[in-house]
Amino acid sequence: MNEQNNLNETIESAQQPVQPPVYEQPVYQQQYQQPVYTQQQYTQQPAQPQYQQQPVYVQPPVQPQYAQQPVYVQQPVYTAQVDDSRKLGITAMILGILSLCTCWTVVAGFVLAIIGMKKSGSAKERAVTFGFTTAFARVGRITSIVGLIASIFMIFYWIVIIIAAAFAY
């Protein structure tokens, strides 16, 4: 019977609702409350000052960052002057090659080399002004210089031939 009583008590206790435990919240003295002095405290030494907490710094609210408008850069406009630097460089290169090919004719090679050097100089100035490469201008200047040197040697060669022919007869 004892067992049955224990079983009945267990069933009854299981059927009763379980009440949650009650916790008491600790009571904190407010930090900035004025102390109350009694007659006894005036006769005693004053109480030690309590250290106050450090002030709490609060971070200012973050302002929303808005997406910036994309910056569009205008592409440079190419004009005929920019194309002139390349065209002049190619012209100087062709004139330098022609001066090399015609250096044996005395006048044609010499004249083509001088014109090629002038064209390469102006092509280099325009290319530097507009910020482009000076490759064709350099090649034109080199071939014109080589053509000029070859023309000068051919001029001396023809002078020597003419003088030698005059003394031979």
The pTM for the full model equals 0.51
Query: Which contiguous run of DSSP H or E holds residue 21?
Result: none
Q: Is the pLDDT of residue 72 over 90?
A: no
Confidence of residue 69 (pLDDT cuts 50, 70, 90): confident
User: Looking at residues 39-43, what average pLDDT do you find?
Assistant: 53
So what's the pLDDT on residue 17?
60
3-state secondary structure of 5: helix
Question: Smallest Cα–Cα separation from 82: which of 123, 139, 138, 140?
Answer: 123
Cβ–Cβ contacts within 10 Å for residue 109, how many?
A: 23
How many Å apart are CA 100 and CA 111, to the nearest integer?
A: 11
Residue 45 or residue 134, greater confidence: 134
- Judged against a pLDDT cut of 90, whether residue 25 lies above it is answered with no
Contact criterion met (CB below 8 Å) for 133 and 127: yes
| Residue 114: other Cβ atoms inside 10 A | 16
Q: What is the rounded CA–CA span in Å between residue 78 and residue 164?
A: 58
Q: How far apart are CA 31 and CA 15, in angstroms?
A: 47
User: If you average pLDDT over residues 78-91, what whole number do you get?
Assistant: 75
- Residues 110-119: what's their mean pLDDT? 96
- Give the range with max mean pLDDT: 8-22, 47-61, 100-114: 100-114
- The dihedrals phi and psi of 124, each to the nearest 5 degrees, come to -65, -40
Per-residue pLDDT for 44 more than 90? no
By CB atoms closer than 10 A (0-12, 13-18, 19+), residue 117 is: buried
Residue corresponding to tokens 């406009």: 77
In this predicted model, which residue has the larger pLDDT, 68 or 82?
68
